[in-house]
Structure 1
Amino acid sequence: MPTRYEVTATALNLRASPSAAGDILTVLRRGQQCVGAGDAQDGWLPVSYQQLSGYLSANYVRVAPGAAAPSPAPVPAPTGGVPLPADPQTRLSDQSQLHPQFRQALGVLLDKLAAENRPFKVFEAFRTPERQRWLYEQGRSRPGGIVTNAKPWESFHQYGLAVDLVLFVNGQWTWSSTGDLGAHWKRLPDLAKEAGLRTLTWEAPHVELPVALRDAAGPALLASADAGWADTLASAAARWRAAGGSGAPDLAPAQRPTTA
């Protein structure tokens, strides 16, 4: 029977690789439990937590007394690329989860920005519906200012067709539009348009593929998809439905044309 472990630290990062430099998938809190997936090596313990698989520092976990391992949840995970985080506060910036058509146009835009020494970087790319719901609740059912008007599956982020580009200056993210920084934000919509993308007047960092939301998982985009995008979208939709959510797209496989 797999061993169940309990977190002893106040907060402990679950990382994608056995290294302090590994990407953070989510954060476990003191008392939360996970299931071991092998023996610790070089101080890193492979574990599974909800739908995530990663590594924890073995110094900050202990065997949970008398706990049995749970049955794995019957929710598919992406077959490749970056796992979907369970924590809605975790943002993703991996471009492999974006649709290849959008990813190509985004690359053109980033090259244009770099050529003009405009320090934009991808702050957030694919966004899980759970995170979209969490963001939508801000300023409504929980404290804070409103940051989005889109509910889950009403945002292009859920379809891998949008990113948020934010200025990265002196090693820090900044949304400031004062002084010289304002010129960067004013230039972004023009360069996005040149790259075949569109921006939103009410949300400056947002850049998306100019298609209708009803076509975001339609036949044309499905036909030109790759595994990174398709697996991510299918996994997010399946997990959302398994939790009783609605609005996720029905990813019917694209049909190849018949031969003569």
Structure 2
Amino acid sequence: MKNIRTAFSVFFLLILGGFLFVWVGNEVTFREELLTRSLPSGLYSIVEEKQDLLIDQASEIGIEILITDGYRSPEEQDSLHGQGRTMSGSIVTYAEAGESYHNYGLAIDFALRLDDDSVVWDIERDDNGNGESDWFEVAMIGKNLGFDWGGDWQRFKDYPHLEMTFGLSIRDLQRGWRPEDKID
């Protein structure tokens, strides 16, 4: 009986060891493939479509918006990160290059456009006169379109920010994952 248990244990360990070797081998190959993927150079197509719907749906209720930022290159991200640190101005982001959904074409920022074409970041403004903040109305439209809104964040409230993560973390994106990897 002892020999059968020993043989079974050895057999089990060999099978497990072989499985781990194959799994680890495939994982390493797959990871290398992911890391060689290039960064996007613009908005992801679904984000761009939803951005256009956001503009149209806001306009339908009397709110004109301007998309102030979309895809952001690593250089642009580092420049923004430097504001209030290595350059003059207020801190506008805590994300360095590669740490923002903007860097992967998955985020946009908006502002309200007035009749005279000036732009404001006034979250209390009610230019369509319905008793609700235009800003929060736009955020709700964005959320209904599938965006996550920075105004809902617990720590740092980023009211102009809308993003679509497709279930991917920044770490996933840094490793090379892209939304099409997650969509059926």
- TM-score under structure 1 length normalisation: 0.45
Is the 8 Å Cα contact of residues 55 and 64 (structure 2) preserved in structure 1?
Answer: no
Amino acid paired to 1:214: R
* Structure 2 equivalent of residue 199 of structure 1: 149
Amino acid paired to 2:171: R
- TM-superposed CA distance for 1:219, in Å, is 4.7
Please give the secondary structure, in 1, of the residue aligned with 2:59: helix
- TM-superposed CA distance for 1:176, in Å, is 2.5
The verdict on how the C-alpha distance between 1:221 and 1:191 changes in structure 2, with shifts beyond 3 A counting, is: same
Amino acid paired to 1:139: G
Is the 8 Å Cα contact of residues 70 and 105 (structure 2) preserved in structure 1?
Answer: yes
* Structure with higher helix content: 2
Is the 8 Å Cα contact of residues 112 and 119 (structure 2) preserved in structure 1?
Answer: yes
Identical aligned residues as a percent: 27
The verdict on how the C-alpha distance between 1:143 and 1:198 changes in structure 2, with shifts beyond 3 A counting, is: same
The verdict on how the C-alpha distance between 1:199 and 1:223 changes in structure 2, with shifts beyond 3 A counting, is: closer
Number of aligned residues: 130
* Structure with higher strand content: 1
Are residues 1:176 and 2:135 paired?
no
Are residues 1:189 and 2:144 paired?
no
CA distance in 2, matches of 1:221, 1:119: 31
CA distance in 1, matches of 2:63, 2:85: 34
Let me know the Cα RMSD of the aligned residues: 2.4
Are residues 1:146 and 2:91 paired?
yes
CA distance in 1, matches of 2:125, 2:52: 27
- Structure number with greater Rg is 2
* Structure 2 equivalent of residue 65 of structure 1: none
Please give the secondary structure, in 1, of the residue aligned with 2:139: helix
CA distance in 1, matches of 2:178, 2:103: 17
Is the 8 Å Cα contact of residues 44 and 105 (structure 2) preserved in structure 1?
Answer: yes
Amino acid paired to 2:144: E
C-alpha distance after superposition, 1:151-197 (max 9, x if no partner): 11101111111111111111112112344257111212211111011
Please list every run of 5 or more consecutive structure 1 residues that lacks an aligned counterpart in the other structure: 1-83, 85-96, 225-260
The verdict on how the C-alpha distance between 1:124 and 1:200 changes in structure 2, with shifts beyond 3 A counting, is: same
More contact order relative to length (CA 8 Å, sep ≥ 6): 2
Please list every run of 5 or more consecutive structure 2 residues that lacks an aligned counterpart in the other structure: 1-40, 152-156
* Structure 1 equivalent of residue 177 of structure 2: 218
CA distance in 1, matches of 2:123, 2:178: 39
- TM-superposed CA distance for 1:222, in Å, is 5.8
- TM-superposed CA distance for 1:127, in Å, is 0.9
Is the 8 Å Cα contact of residues 101 and 165 (structure 2) preserved in structure 1?
Answer: no
The verdict on how the C-alpha distance between 1:179 and 1:219 changes in structure 2, with shifts beyond 3 A counting, is: closer
The verdict on how the C-alpha distance between 1:153 and 1:167 changes in structure 2, with shifts beyond 3 A counting, is: same
- TM-superposed CA distance for 1:220, in Å, is 4.0
CA distance in 2, matches of 1:219, 1:148: 23
CA distance in 2, matches of 1:187, 1:219: 30
